[in-house]
Chains A and B, each alone.
Chain A
């Protein structure tokens, strides 16, 4: 049952990821990306990473994609006009490089690569995956976790300052729009 579900999710993931890259309309690309994130969350669930599956849907399919769609609609983008020889040549080069990368990765992975033996699976803890992740996050990885909060603060301030634009006029001047 699990391999069948995995193959289904994997097929959906690859198809939607291709559609993200191939589709002309950015809004459609973004909606296909939501589908790709959801199928990836399904794969996380199959891998017993339940907490990550939920966070994937909440953070990626929820927050990040809403941000993408908001910006796309704010900018009122048209379909990409992609004609002309130069663009066709560049597109061909891009696909060729991608195929080359896949080939190189495939050759590397098909050689023998040493990996430790599969650990015997332990029974899932009673509190579920989220409790175990919380225990590890707040003990072993407490310092990186706190650094992450600083990163988010910097991102928040940076996004506001950058998107604010050039309205840097003093507050008492009437001319500043």
Chain B
């Protein structure tokens, strides 16, 4: 059986990689992928604790998180497509539509 601490460490590392991706990249799509990495890190922690507690509820939560992630990706990519039509770029530091 895999120790719980290994799984939590892996989840933490994956989450930090996602955070770094959001901070250092300028491409909105790559930022989206990094957000997916963070969601998956949370999912991994859910599954690890569900295994540890021998309960199914954690796995059900992962199921819901996946649904929310799918919805978020659909909406987010639609917004990105729209911004690209408007500005011809998806680099986040060149998108300043709301700046006065």
Contact = CB atoms under 8 A, between A and B. Distances in A.
Contacts of B25: 21, 80
Contact of A14 (B13, B34, B40, B91): B13
Contact of A49 (B8, B59, B73): B59
Contacts of A36: 37, 40
Interface residues of B, number: 69
Given A97-B19, A133-B60, A33 B33 contact: yes
A114 interface: no
Contacts of B34: 20-21
Given A94-B20, A121-B54, A14 B14 contact: yes
A71 B80 contact: yes
B90 A77 contact: yes
A82 B24 CA distance: 10
A64 B68 CA distance: 12
B36 A64 contact: yes
Contacts of A95: 20, 23-24
Interface string A110-123: 00000110111110
Contacts of B62: 49, 52
Contacts of B97: none
Nearest to B53: A119
A138 to B, nearest CB: 11
A153 B14 CA distance: 30
Contact of A64 (B13, B63, B70): B70
A20 to B, nearest CB: 6
A134 to B, nearest CB: 10
Interface in A71-104: 71-72, 74-75, 77, 80, 82, 87, 90-91, 93-95, 97-98, 101-102
Given A75-B84, A80-B91, 15 more contacts: A14-B10, A17-B14, A20-B21, A29-B30, A44-B47, A63-B70, A64-B70, A71-B80, A80-B26, A98-B16, A109-B5, A119-B52, A154-B71, A163-B81, A165-B82
12 contacts: A55-B66, A68-B32, A75-B29, A75-B81, A98-B23, A101-B16, A105-B12, A136-B60, A141-B60, A151-B71, A155-B74, A162-B78
